[in-house]
Amino acid sequence: MRIAFLVAPEGVEQVELTDPWQAVTDAGGEAVLVSTEPGQVRAFHHLDKADTFRVHQVVGDVGAEAFDGLVLPGGVANPDLLRTDRQAVGFVKEFFALGLPVAAICHAPWTLVEADVLRGRTLTSWPSLRTDIRNAGGSWVDEPVHVCADGPNTLITSRKPDDLKAFRDALLAEFTKVTNRFPR
C-alpha cells in the first residue's frame, strides 16, 4: 500500500499528518509526503509552529497512478493554500478520476470543494466548512468519521483531531481494499 499525503509548504496540523502516517506505516504501507514545493514542510499545533518534515515528491512531478490512496490532512492554512494551487487541485482530481480512495480530515475538504468532486457526496469536516460543502453540491453530516462510497471512489472524512482513531481505522480499511484489488 503506497499512500500520498498531500500538504502545503506550511500550515498542516501536525497530528493530522503524523497519526494517519503512523497508521499507514504500522500496517506495512509506504507513506509519501507530497507537497507543492521541494524541501521541507512546516507543521503546526493549532497556531504554534511545530516540526518540519521532508518532502518526498513535488506534486507536479508525480501522478495519482503512483499511489493506492490519498490522505489530505487539515489545519486551516494547509488546505487554503492547496486549493489555490492548480497542480495540487489537479492531483486530487486524478484520484477521483482513477477511482482511488481519498481521506480528508478537519479543514482538508476545502481542497475537495475546489476540485469540484463533492456533488452528490456525503461527508463530514470541521463544522465551519458545512456551508462550503453544501454550496459545492455535497451533504454535510456531523459524525466522527463518514465513509461515502457513492461515487467513483471511496471518500473517508473526519471532523477533527479528537476523531483520529475512527479516521485512521476507516482509511486503513478502505486503503487495504484497494491494495488487495490492485496489488503492486
- Tell me the three state secondary structure of residue 12: strand
Identified catalytic residue from 45, 56, 107, 146 = 107
The yes-or-no answer on residue 107 being catalytic is: yes
Helix (H, G, I), strand (E, B) or coil at 167: helix
C-alpha distance from residue 181 to each of 31, 54, 174 (Å): 19, 30, 11
Known catalytic membership, residue 45: no
Cβ burial 108-141 (10 Å sphere, 16+ → b, else e): bbbbbbbbebbeebbbbbbeebbebbeebebbbe
Active-site entry in 45, 46, 56, 106:
106
Dihedral sign, CA of 45, 171, 131, 162?
negative
Q: Which residues are catalytic?
A: 106-107
